[in-house]
Structure 1
């Protein structure tokens, strides 16, 4: 028998997959570079949330560690891309 938590996990996985599709479309079709950076920033955040939902579903610690790595990598890459768009260089 499926519990309420499993229904909620399935629904959240569906919503996150739908959001990933929309962010990927914006990343590919974005009219400006700023739109593409924002879509990439949102995409890594959604991937991190999807990984956390999978960790809750499977009750495995590896998914939570992977989500932490995705969050750290995504944050650093967003800062680097924003700095590149503002100044045209990353290293000072």
Structure 2
């Protein structure tokens, strides 16, 4: 039963990852693509967390936390970039 649940979670996260890649490729605007990239980073952190639970290696949780924090800081940086006017044609 435990492996069924783990495999189901892997399948759901993989499907979400695939759909996020589609949104990142098709996104009509730059902010849509950045949000999709943020979602991809969060899903990868979730996959790493599930892998840590599956294998019992707690070091993977540290990797997932660092990945999530890095993605969050990238999103904050992009928001500040857009707030200051975005790209210019100087």
TM-score, length of structure 2 as denominator length: 0.89
**2:27 is aligned with 1:39:** no
Deviation at 1:86, TM superposition (A): 2.2
Structure 1: 5+ residue runs without aligned partners?
A: none
Cα RMSD of the aligned pairs, angstroms, is: 1.2
The aligned residue for residue 55 of structure 2 is 58
**2:31 is aligned with 1:29:** no
Q: Deviations over 1:60-88 (max 9, x none)?
A: 01210100110110110010111112213
Partner secondary structure for residue 28 of structure 2:
coil
Structure 2: 5+ residue runs without aligned partners?
A: none
Partner secondary structure for residue 46 of structure 2:
helix
Q: Distance in 2 between matches of 1:24 and 1:83?
A: 24
Q: Distance in 2 between matches of 1:24 and 1:82?
A: 21
- Count of equivalent residues: 86
TM-score, length of structure 1 as denominator length: 0.87
**2:87 is aligned with 1:85:** no
Q: 1:73 aligns with which of 58, 61, 70?
A: 70
Aligned structure 1 segments of 4 or more residues deviating by more than 4 angstroms: none
